[in-house]
A and B are shown apart, each in its own frame.
Chain A
Amino acid sequence: MKLESVKRYAKKELNGWWIISLIGAAVILLPILYVFLEIFQEPNENWYQIREYLLGNYVINTIILVFFTGILTIFLGVTLAWLTSAYDFPFRKFFRWGLILPLAIPPYIAAYTYRTMLSYTGIVQSTLRNQWDVQINPELLSFSSLRGAIFVFTIFLFPYVYIIARAFLESQSSSYIENARLLGRKPTAVFFKIVLPLARPAIIGGAGLVIFEVLSDYGVTSYFGIHTITTAIFQTWFGMYDVDTAMRLAAWLMFIIIGVFILERLLRQRKRYHLSNKSKPLVPIKLKGVPAAAAFMFCTIVLSLGFIIPLFQLIAWAGLTFDKVWDISFFTLLTQTVSIAAISTAIIIIVATIIANVCRSKWAFPYILSKVITSGYSIPGAIIAIGVLAVFIQLDETLAPLYSYMGLGDAPLLLSMSIVMLIVGYVIRFMATGYNAVEVGFEKIGTKYTEASRLLGHGITKTFFRVELPLIKGALFSGFILTFVEICKELPLVLLLRPFNFETLATKTFQYAKDEMIHEAAIPSLMIIAISTMSVVVFHLIDKRVKK
């Protein structure tokens, strides 16, 4: 009798987690599916025209951009992670978390800032001209096209790789690295033979986020005039007035990305390293003299380029335009931005945790499911917005009789005119940032604690709350911060899905930047950066307490 009830209990619990996952996945998938199904529609002549004349060039540009950004972010992220976790040098503790700060600056703001700084009226050229009467060839400083975009993406997105790689190195790799050191391996050999192969899943996870972000970017690429697949999507939509073909392009882009990630997984399958969970934290080696100075300089340069220089420039511009732009309504913008980001992030982390928990098995289905629900990150925000809009309007029209029955008035567009639609949009778009972090957390603890707990009679829920949750809380927290910062910075989605009179700091920034009013855009930009920076600092403080 008792055994029976335990069995039934376990079964029920299992189903509960699965049901929640499937419902969550369905809500996320519907709008994505709406875009995806466009592949099966009859293509029109625009499609053929694009395929014939443009696609080749656009695909090549996209590949160049993704390849170089990917390689450079991995190089920068992993090197810095290795440096700050395996060595000790002046200000290492500060750099350990300070190097996350470039993430606080949205790439499109960075692009505007750097470009204007280096332009004819910018600080570099005007100082040279007015102070020393030096005229330099402006083409030398030309900050645009692929070169500029690769720089911006690398410097402002590398922290994705850095955070994940560092967390991994600090907590997981010490026994391997210390053994290698004991056995007399040189630091470079340790790095290439041990660190890189071991950290591969972490690196791929971080680089994946970077690549997603680059692929879906419209702000930076269109500002620099680079033709990528994403700008092609928009040119088809805004230029040829053909939203169906635009969605079709987006669908193919998504399809290819999911394919690449599944391929990566298949290739990796046989090379899984089971890491010891009990490993002690890595003990850094103290650097002295020239190596210490070099390490310090390297970190300082990266941090200056990625945070300090643009920050000071923006502060200077904010000073110029403060009287004109600043008013009390910025506080409303601030609270609106923070509260919508916090709510959306909380939902993302909870849903991601539930789905990641049931997707830990080795079957193909959960794996593909997990890749599909996170694929929203690779689609340009405006295209997701169309999917969300279509689904919500449909839903509203279906529910309209219910609304009027409930006495909610006879305007049928209730949900799609509310903030709910925007929140769902965010959840779909940024599920990847939350999910990847949670997934890394689960991968790190492996399955043996879970198995032990289940064997000892805990149900899946109890196991989760008593065993797994305490083990992955760090991962959840970093996922929360990453996602929160992303949502604060997000633009295209909020433009299209917002209800009446809803402004965030990002829309305010856009309002100025669209008109090339870079100086006026400085104040809202700085506020976005301030929120993001504070999140990073909070992250650091809590991280420190956890470590203790």
Chain B
Amino acid sequence: MYITKWFKPVMASAILAVGLAGCGSNQNSSDSDKETTKKTTTKNEVVNVYTARHYEADDEVYKMFTEETGIKVNVVKAEAEELIERLKREGESTQADLFLTVDGGVLANAKKNDILQPVTSEVIDKNVPENLRDKEDFWVGMATRARVIVYAKDRVKPEELSTYENLTDDQWKGKVLARSSTSLYNQSLLASFIELNGEEKAEQWAEGIVKNFARQPDGGDRDQAKAIAAGTGDVAIMNTYYVGLLANSEDPEEVKVAESIGVFYPNQETNGTHVNISGIGLTKHSKNKENAVKLIEYMTDVEAQEYLSANNYEFPVNPKAKQPELLQSWGEFKMQELNFETLGEHNAKAIEIFNKTGWK
């Protein structure tokens, strides 16, 4: 009586929705039952992936893999640390077979947390050089990116540039751009210096960069390139693949920015340019191990490697894979020689140094 006309349908649909929620969830669980029973009967049909790489190119490669092998790839995408936490808590029960992420430190952390197991495969060993794999094969590299110096073509001659350390020189006062120290890319860069040059030198370096900042760290990697174009600063520390993304942007203004900057590989005469890695690890309690290894083999094979490199502007790990023109135009370079695990080991120290030196 008191209930007005519209309220009845709303209430009814609310109740219906709850009912459906119940059914929906039942349905869902019965779906996953089907999947699990399927798995027990015909084992070779799926591979379950937890990935912190959010790239469309990856999804495309999974599709190519399914087409070729008939193995379905199921994916959960989230932040790397979250996925490690989920894997830890799921323990033996986990349904995940593979863990993919960007950054050597994170890969080392996954290994340390005991959620991975070694992978042995001749194909993988052939595809990926030894220095781009974990020493004990707990993970396999799938792509790399270099953290380089980007400069204003009209104001800086490449001859003036030499090393990361050189950027702390007075010559660059008020001209250096970098993003915030909360970025994992910067943390790993500093971690690599801690490993190669020692803590003291690393701290001096961070101090010197802060002293030479053109402005307080602001925005992401792309914003540093834009700040160069805007004339705020002359040189920036930046990842190569963002340059690729800028150069291929739909926005003509961004393409102009990419055209106004040059890429310089620092430390070629000394200890090499800082490179970070994306990698794949087999989970410790993988239930579809064979399929999982097949997917790693596929992703490190020439075809997938070339696809990833062409669409995501990362460097392939497979030496046989051809790089897209843009990457080739930057030339060959020498990379830092270090164990990627050390990036993880020094991460906390790197954050501490950033906090101490006031790198925001």
Residue numbers of A with Cβ under 8 A of B are: 46, 49, 53-54, 115, 119-122, 125-126, 135, 138-139, 142, 144-145, 222, 225, 227, 231, 235, 237-241, 243, 317, 320-321, 324, 339, 342-344, 346-347, 349-350, 382, 385-386, 389-390, 393, 396-397, 400, 408-420, 423, 465-467, 469-470, 473, 477, 480, 495-496, 498-502, 507, 510-511, 514-517, 519, 542, 545-546
Contacts and interface: CB of A to CB of B under 8 A. Distances in A.
Contacts of B18: 343, 346-347, 350
A125 to B, nearest CB: 8
Leading 5 A-B pairs by shortest Cβ distance:
A121-B253, A500-B74, A346-B17, A409-B36, A120-B230
A121 B93 contact: no
A125 B40 CA distance: 60
26 contacts: A46-B348, A53-B355, A54-B355, A120-B253, A121-B226, A138-B232, A139-B215, A225-B180, A239-B347, A240-B348, A342-B17, A343-B21, A346-B14, A389-B86, A408-B36, A410-B40, A411-B36, A414-B33, A419-B28, A420-B25, A470-B4, A495-B78, A501-B75, A507-B77, A514-B54, A519-B250
Interface residues of B, number: 83
Among B17, B30, B187, max chain A CB count under 10 A is at B17
Given A346-B18, A516-B242, A511 B77 contact: yes
Contacts of A138: 227, 230-232
A546 B25 CA distance: 34
Contact of A241 (B74, B79, B109, B227): B109
A21 to B, nearest CB: 16
Contacts of B348: 46, 239-241
Given A135-B231, A225-B217, A408-B36, 4 more contacts: A138-B232, A324-B250, A423-B25, A545-B6
Nearest to B250: A320
Contacts of A135: 231
Contact of B29 (A46, A231, A414, A514): A414
A239 B232 contact: no
Nearest to A242: B348
Contacts of B93: 393, 396-397, 400, 411-413
Given A320-B251, A411-B95, A420 B218 contact: no
B82 interface: yes
B226 A120 contact: yes
Interface of B: 1-4, 6-7, 10, 14, 17-18, 20-21, 24-25, 28-30, 32-33, 36-37, 39-40, 48, 54-56, 74-83, 85-86, 89-91, 93-95, 109, 179-180, 182, 184, 187, 215-223, 226-227, 229-232, 242, 245, 249-251, 253-254, 256-257, 287, 344, 347-348, 351-352, 355, 360
Contact of B351 (A235, A417, A470): A235
Contact of A499 (B76, B79, B221): B76
Given A54-B355, A423-B21, A469 B3 contact: yes
B81 A417 contact: no
Nearest to A148: B218
B210 to A, nearest CB: 14
Contacts of B344: 241
A516 B29 contact: no
Nearest to A241: B109
Contacts of A227: 360
B81 A238 contact: yes
B254 A121 contact: yes
Nearest to A470: B2
B81 A237 contact: yes
Nearest to A520: B250
B29 A415 contact: yes
A469 B355 CA distance: 55
A250 B252 CA distance: 43
A477 B10 contact: yes
Contact of B184 (A238, A389, A499): A238
B94 A496 contact: no
Nearest to B55: A515
A120 B32 CA distance: 49
B219 A241 contact: no
A349 B81 CA distance: 33
Given A346-B17, A413-B94, A390 B242 contact: no
Contacts of B20: 343
A439 B218 CA distance: 42
A418 B29 contact: yes
A38 B341 CA distance: 30
B28 A499 contact: yes
A135 B95 CA distance: 56
A51 to B, nearest CB: 13
Given A349-B14, A419-B24, A499-B76, A241 B81 contact: yes
A514 B4 CA distance: 47
B79 A420 contact: no
Contacts of A470: 2-4, 7
Given A121-B257, A470-B3, A239 B17 contact: no
B351 A495 contact: no
A419 B14 contact: no
Contact of A409 (B40, B85, B219): B40
Nearest to B17: A346
A66 to B, nearest CB: 20
A420 to B, nearest CB: 4
Contact of B245 (A121, A473, A510, A516): A516
B226 A393 contact: no
B94 A511 contact: no
A206 to B, nearest CB: 24
A243 B85 contact: yes
A418 B32 contact: yes
Given A346-B17, A390-B89, A417-B95, A499 B355 contact: no
Nearest to A343: B21
A64 to B, nearest CB: 15
Contact of B257 (A120, A349, A417): A120
A519 B246 CA distance: 11
Contacts of A473: 4, 7, 10
B74 A501 contact: yes
A498 B218 CA distance: 32
Contacts of A515: 54-55, 245
A127 B256 CA distance: 14
Given A222-B182, A225-B182, A495-B78, A542 B28 contact: no
Nearest to B38: A409
Nearest to A115: B219
Contacts of A414: 29, 32-33
Contacts of B217: 225
